Amino acid sequence: MSLSRFVKAIFLSVLVPFSVAFAADDGLYRDVFAPNSSFIRVLAPEQSFATVGATSLKDLGDGLSPYVNVMPGDIEVALSATSAVIPVEANQHYTLVVPQDGAPIVLTDQLETSPAKADVTLYNYASQENVALYVPQAKATVLTDVALGAGKSIALKAPLTLDFEIRHGDEVLATVSQVALNRKAGLAFVLLEKDGVYSAQAIANSYVK
């Protein structure tokens, strides 16, 4: 077996796919919060602030806010030009996607938070349908068919440092290099588009009370 095929086999053996996001970062884990509480964050690259319940988020410089700890019930999320009420259930993670046009989209996130893996999410905030997340070192597509305004997640063995490409078919839309995957941690790739030019960034999941 060649070295490249051996590395690919090892890499693929540790992928655990599932649908959209459950978060943790390497400094603030779920078990520091009240039992049965949940979390809401906002994806709004065009906005500078938001409120989640009674919590103000004043720095959305990367477009993706920290997760805000909330208790189950109807929680209002407000931004400068729009708002939404999320019916929060216990032990859930949510991302409110605020598109440039149209109503906000509520995604229920589900991450593994495994002590041996890192959760990786891809959000499609561009105009291209059905994008994918590709790992060049392994020659492997790890997430497929991420629709407009949607997200998908996967748990990857950690620690690893990898390059990632966001693709549509065989076309590479954006590349993020040297991304560190940490155990029991999460990060999100956000695909953006401006004037027909695509870009992407990797943002570590974080939490606030």
Tens-place pLDDT, residues 151-187: 999 999 999 999 999 999 999 999 999 999 999 899 9
pLDDT for res 2:
45
Could you tell me the CA-to-CA distances from 103 to 29, 37, 100, 117, 204 in Å, in that order?
31, 26, 9, 34, 26
Number of domains in the chain: 1
pLDDT digits (tens, 9 = 90+) for 7-64: 444 344 444 333 333 333 333 455 578 889 999 999 998 888 899 999 999 878 789 9
Instruction: Give the pLDDT band (50/70/90) at residue 68.
Output: very high
Q: 50 and 57 in contact (C-beta within 8 Å)?
A: yes
pLDDT digits (tens, 9 = 90+) for 91-140: 899 999 998 888 999 999 877 888 999 999 999 999 999 999 999 999 99
Instruction: Give the structural domain span for 189.
Output: 3-208
pLDDT for res 25:
38
